[in-house]
Amino acid sequence: MTDANAGEQAFKRPESVLVLVYAREAQVLVLERRQPAGFLQSVTGSLEWGESAPAAARRELIEETGLEPRHPPVDCGLAHRFPIHPQWRGRFPPGTTENLEHVYCWQAPGTVTIRINPDEHCDWRWLAFDRALACLSSWTNRKALSEVLPMRLP
- Per residue in 106-127, pLDDT tens? 999 999 999 999 999 999 999 9
Q: d(Cα 24, Cα 2) in Å, to the nearest integer?
A: 47
Mean pLDDT of 120-146: 96
Which residues constitute the domain of residue 134? 3-151
pLDDT for position 1: 45
Hey, what amino acid is at 36?
A: P
- Per residue in 33-85, pLDDT tens? 998 899 999 999 999 999 999 999 999 999 999 999 999 999 999 999 999 98
Task: Residue 52: give its domain's CATH number.
Answer: 3.90.79.10
* SS3 readout for 7-69: HHCCCCCCEEEEEEEEECCCEEEEEEECCCCCCEECEEEECCCCCCHHHHHHHHHHHHHCCCC
Is 3's pLDDT higher than 90? no
Percentage of the chain surpassing pLDDT 90? 84
